[in-house]
Amino acid sequence: MIGQDTITLAKKIRMHALKMTNRGKSSHIGSVLSMADIIAVLYGEVLKKNSKNPLWPDRDRFILSKGHAGAGIYAALAETGFFPIGWLAQHYACGSKLSGHISHKGIPGVEFSTGSLGHGLPVGTGMAYAARMEGKKHRVFVLLSDGECDEGSNWEAVLFAAHHKLSNLIVIIDYNKIQSLDTVANTINLEPFNSKWTAFGWNVIEMDGHDHDQLKDKLNVSVHYGEKPICFIAHTIKGKGVTFMENSVLWHYRSPQGEEFVAAMSELES
Amino acid sequence: MRDAFISVLAEIARIDKNVMLLTGDLGFGVLTEFAYEFPKQYLNVGVAEQNMTGIAAGLALEGKTVFTYSIGNFNTMRCLEQIRNDVCYHDLNVKIVSIGGGFCYGALGISHHATEDLAIMSSLPNLKVVAPADKMETKLATFEVYNNTGPFYLRLGRGGESELYSNPPKFIIGKSIPVFIGGDIAILSIGGILENVMKARLILFNEGIKTSVYSFHTLRPFDYDQIQKLINQVKLIVTVEEHLAKGGLGSRVSEILAGKYGDRPALLRIGLGDNFMSEVGDQNYLREQTGLAPYQIANSVKYEIKRNKI
């Protein structure tokens, strides 16, 4: 992306993801749109990384635990030079490496493969523990969905990270308040969400997950060992950027086709 | 076996500071010295096997060689998907060590009977599966599991097993150990049940029936070469495992035999049926309830000899 601002990057991520899910007739466009601003700020400004040396030891680690939104990460990686943008056309296609749920195999820049929920945080916790053992200063970011917080494995890691004061571990929750079949409130209510994380011993910061100024200001944390791990609860809108997809359960699974695709693309382009 | 494992791991940990031992809050009296000597290489993650396996994957991604330690089915089945997706798919240096294979913890009840683990674990891509037979094999296996990069499942017994070897055998991952050679019948064994197999061999020998005995300590990669040789050498292959008769050693052998045209040896698979135990008891008691006592193994072999007119 070199030189492009995070607003432009977010727009490109959204457009790529819309085209990818249209071409592949695949799901989860709502989940990508909801996190696109967070991803744009992370990849555009916050993460220390090197597209020419994806395994640079001092890079910040980023794990997408909500692996179903992998199209957004593939788009961000392509836009920031990790692989050619042309690869995105192969998303979800027969013979492709770009699977619907994010995979690292053969894809430069993908730190870890997910797809089954509740896996990313324990792994990120292990990475953060290893980094602290070595006195490293890089950070480990893990992006979770809200529905994913139903998984008990997350809370095992939440306990562990607080006990060990892994302040180099940074969780971001894409709190769009809609999960697979219904709203979070109607499925398994997470509220009082902030209090839960706080009670577990985390430093909790709430923010608008679409406000780039807030995201830039808050996400770029520095590591001070001995302090609490950080949980950003990012309030977001599922389907953000396409009016008829916003706050709609339907667009977790519905694939953008025909007139709906055209209308969505024209709104994103405008 | 668990003491043999931990003493070897301590030797390794003294030299390689990247080796870590994670426990799911188990190992009372077994891990104490290790924890004391290697505080930076030891981590009790609490009663949380999914997290333990995920953390192990994260540590391994950062260059550590990680052993996860628990008993029975806790660090295998409880976290099976973490093993599959996080460890195996990423082909990481994580070694899953479970104590109490088979009926070691028989009296504790079915939650602690590890009797399907070999079938389940050996179905996961990239995972090597090793079940040593005694302390000597355990020591050798632990070194090999460490020396071979990638994910492993190491299924151990508990403690107090007999010493089965007078001299250290040659131990190679994926290669069986010939323990006795001779006769038209080969008995193949995996894990701690080798002790009973050797006693059964003696019973048979005293009745004039010569048998070969092999320790098939590695279920994956499997020693296909040895089976191919036996197909041409013997009239009866017997597999013995303290595990389901389906999905383990016996199944591997039957798959090979099924693909063989023409003359082939008969196969007798001795193992557990498709049911949970309806009663508890110590390891020897439950072995006897399931036909795994030495005299029962010997009787089963004799019956099969008669049935096949060998």
ipTM for the predicted complex: 0.96
Whether residue A169 is contained in a domain is answered as: yes
Whether residue A133 is contained in a domain is answered as: yes
> How many domains does the structure of chain A reveal?
1
Cis peptide before A192 (omega within 30 of 0): yes
Residues B100-117: what's their mean pLDDT? Answer: 96
Do the Cβ atoms of B58 and A131 come within 8 Å?
no
Separation CA B166–CA B163 (nearest Å):
8
Per-residue pLDDT of A245-257, as tens digits, reads: 999 999 999 999 9
Backbone angles phi, psi at B280, to 5 degrees: -110, 175
Q: Is the pLDDT of residue B42 over 80?
A: yes
Q: Is the pLDDT of residue A3 over 90?
A: no
Between A104, A152, A153, which is nearest B54 by CB?
A: A153
Tell me, yes or no, if A200 comes closer than 8 A to chain B by beta carbon: no
Order of strands, sheet of B236-244, starting from the edge strand that comes earlier in the sequence = B177-180, B211-215, B185-190, B236-244, B266-272
Taking domain B177-307, whether its CATH number is 3.30.1360.120 is answered by no
Per-residue pLDDT of B51-70, as tens digits, reads: 999 999 999 999 999 999 99
How many beta-carbon pairs below 8 A join chains A and B? 85
Q: Which residue has the higher pLDDT, B159 or B116?
A: B116
Tell me, yes or no, if A153 comes closer than 8 A to chain B by beta carbon: yes
Residue with tokens 């916790």: A125
Q: Residue A205 pairs with which residues in a beta bridge?
A: A232
Tell me, yes or no, if A114 comes closer than 8 A to chain B by beta carbon: yes
Per-residue pLDDT of A28-77, as tens digits, reads: 999 999 999 999 999 999 999 999 999 999 999 999 999 999 999 999 99
Tell me, yes or no, if B125 comes closer than 8 A to chain A by beta carbon: no
Number of H helices, E strands in chain B: 11, 12
Domain of A111, CATH number, reads: 3.40.50.970
Q: Which two tokens stand for residue A202?
A: 């985390």
Closest residue by Cα to residue B99 from B141, B71, B118: B71
Contact list in A for residue B81 (CB cut-off 8 A) is 116, 119
Q: SS3 sequence, A203-239? A: EEEEEECCCHHHHHHHHCCCCCCCCCCEEEEEECCCC
| Domain ranges for chain B | 2-156, 177-307
Closest residue by Cα to residue B239 from B216, B220, B223, B255: B216
Interface test with B, best of A155, A156, A163, A200 (most B CBs within 10 A): A156
B182: left (phi over 0), alpha (psi -120 to 50) or beta: left
Between B48, B86, B90, which is nearest A156 by CB?
A: B48
Classify residue A45 as exposed, middle or buried by CB count within 10 Å of its CB (0-12, 13-18, 19+). middle
Q: Is the pLDDT of residue A186 over 50?
A: yes
Residues 70-89 of B with CB under 8 A from A: 81-82, 85-86, 89
Whether residue A259 is contained in a domain is answered as: yes
A115: left (phi over 0), alpha (psi -120 to 50) or beta: left
Answer positive or negative: Cα dihedral of A155, B93, A228, A54: negative
Residues A212-232: what's their mean pLDDT? Answer: 93
Q: Is the pLDDT of residue B116 over 80?
A: yes
Separation CA B86–CA B56 (nearest Å):
9
Tell me, yes or no, if B4 comes closer than 8 A to chain A by beta carbon: no
CATH architecture for residues B2-156: 3-Layer(aba) Sandwich (3.40)
Do the Cβ atoms of B46 and A159 come within 8 Å?
yes
Q: What's residue B53's pLDDT?
A: 98
Do the Cβ atoms of B54 and A115 come within 8 Å?
no
Do the Cβ atoms of A160 and B90 come within 8 Å?
no
Separation CA A124–CA B57 (nearest Å):
9
Do the Cβ atoms of A116 and B81 come within 8 Å?
yes
Whether residue A165 is contained in a domain is answered as: yes
Tell me, yes or no, if A199 comes closer than 8 A to chain B by beta carbon: no
Do the Cβ atoms of B55 and A116 come within 8 Å?
no
The mean pLDDT of chain A is 96
When pLDDT is cut at 50, 70 and 90, the band that residue A2 belongs to is very low
Whether residue A63 is contained in a domain is answered as: yes
Give the rounded percent of residues in chain A with a pLDDT score beyond 90: 96
Closest residue by Cα to residue A120 from B309, B209, B57: B57
Q: Is the pLDDT of residue B285 over 70?
A: yes
Backbone angles phi, psi at B295, to 5 degrees: -65, -30
Whether residue A1 is contained in a domain is answered as: no
Tell me, yes or no, if B62 comes closer than 8 A to chain A by beta carbon: yes
Contact list in A for residue B50 (CB cut-off 8 A) is 118, 122, 152-153, 156
When pLDDT is cut at 50, 70 and 90, the band that residue B262 belongs to is confident
Q: What's residue B261's pLDDT?
A: 86
For the ranges A159-168, A202-211, A216-225, B300-309, the lowest mean pLDDT is seen at: A216-225
Q: Is the pLDDT of residue A1 over 90?
A: no
Contact list in A for residue B86 (CB cut-off 8 A) is 112, 119, 122-123
Residues 6+ apart with CB under 8 A from B206: none
Q: Is the pLDDT of residue B246 over 50?
A: yes
Residue with tokens 């090793």: B130
At residue A197's C-alpha, the angle toward residues A196 and A200, to 5°, is 90
Q: What one-character DSSP code corresponds to residue A88? A: G
When pLDDT is cut at 50, 70 and 90, the band that residue A4 belongs to is low
Separation CA A148–CA A127 (nearest Å):
20
Give the rounded percent of residues in chain B with a pLDDT score beyond 90: 95
Residues B188 and B245 sit within 8 Å (Cβ to Cβ): no
When pLDDT is cut at 50, 70 and 90, the band that residue A155 belongs to is very high
Do the Cβ atoms of A122 and B40 come within 8 Å?
no
Whether residue A96 is contained in a domain is answered as: yes
Name the residue range of residue A46's domain.
6-269
Q: What's residue B275's pLDDT?
A: 95
Residue in B closest to A105 by C-alpha: B90
DSSP string, A9-34: HHHHHHHHHHHHHHHTT-S-HHHHHH
